[in-house]
Amino acid sequence: MLKLDSKRSRYLEMDWQSKQHLFAIEPNDSLICCDLRGCIFDKLDLSGCEFFGCRLKGTSFQGATLYETKFIGCFSDEGDRPTDVRNTIATNVSVEDCHINFLSEEPQPDFQNSFWGDDLTLGDFGDFLRWPSEVAKAAADTLSERNDVRYNAAVKLGELDNPVVAPLLGCLLADQEWDVRAIALEVLGKLRHQEFRYRDEVLLELMFLCLGDKHSIVRQTAAELVETISPPERVLLTSINRMVVGTSDEERLAGLLAFIELCQLDDNYVHLLDREVIDALLLKEGSEIRSESSRLLEIIGDRAI
């Protein structure tokens, strides 16, 4: 979806299936809810990197340097291609709330005395490399090529009510089908009983980026969650700031649509954006951006901005 520049580069919801050696990943980067199935990270220096909610079926890390690398909420099904970690140079690796089918030097590695040695940090919440079978089955179905199967899998994960899958569900927020995105967003809202166990604000950021989704029902679902969750304004600003920092008309339009949703929801959100930004968007060549900017000004009316 996008890369956000910061001291640590963050890659959000990237679809990199089956890519090989085409990465600019550097130590300490963070890959969040990315589809990395079949990717080749062989021999890369992934020291300090964090893999959060990533799909790792068939992903290869052969010979990679994994120093203080973190895997949180990642998934690869034991019934399919394993995640290959043979010959890794690994120290202080942390694995939390993952369900990963690892291919290592050992046929069935004992992770208490694993191929990563004594420096592997085990999660302290349940069986750190195995989710309950029903949860794992539904999670595997989120990887299906059929959108109806992905949709039903998200529904099932909501019924099972196990927040361990929240990071993985973040991948579905970038699904090609709007109804899958909408149900994944709805389920994430249900799973957030309090704060998510890991990276709560990151997951909220992904959820409320959906305020700018191209489909109105997804935007409406996100707006409803603004009311029920009441996220911090800094999270909402991430969504609407795409009007300012977006590198494409698609990103700028998404930020504009997000601001429209918020202004329709509550007058108090009007102060989040400078009027000059909207005036600048009115000058853009894209007719859709101009028309939505005009619609926003009609919604705002005489309200202060």
Domain ranges of the chain: 1-130, 132-220, 232-305
Domain 132-220 classification at class level:
mainly alpha
For the record, the structure tokens of 264 come out as 């329709």
- Of 91, 84, 94, 102, the residue nearest 42 (C-alpha): 84
Alpha-carbon gap, residue 29 to 8, rounded angstroms = 5
For the record, the structure tokens of 201 come out as 């604000």
Q: State if pTM tops 0.75.
A: yes
Residue with tokens 């050696």: 21
**Which pLDDT belongs to residue 109?**
44
Low-confidence ranges of the chain (pLDDT < 70): 1-7, 21-22, 104-129, 284-286, 302-305
Query: Contact 122/97 with Cβ under 8 angstroms?
Result: no
Query: Contact 119/91 with Cβ under 8 angstroms?
Result: yes
What's the fold here for domain 1-130?
Pectate Lyase C-like (2.160.20)
> How far is C-alpha 104 from the geometric centre of its chain's CA atoms?
27
Helices (H), 142-232: 147-160, 166-172, 178-191, 200-209, 216-229
**Which pLDDT belongs to residue 275?**
78
3-state secondary structure of 254: helix
**Which pLDDT belongs to residue 17?**
87
Alpha-carbon gap, residue 186 to 158, rounded angstroms = 9
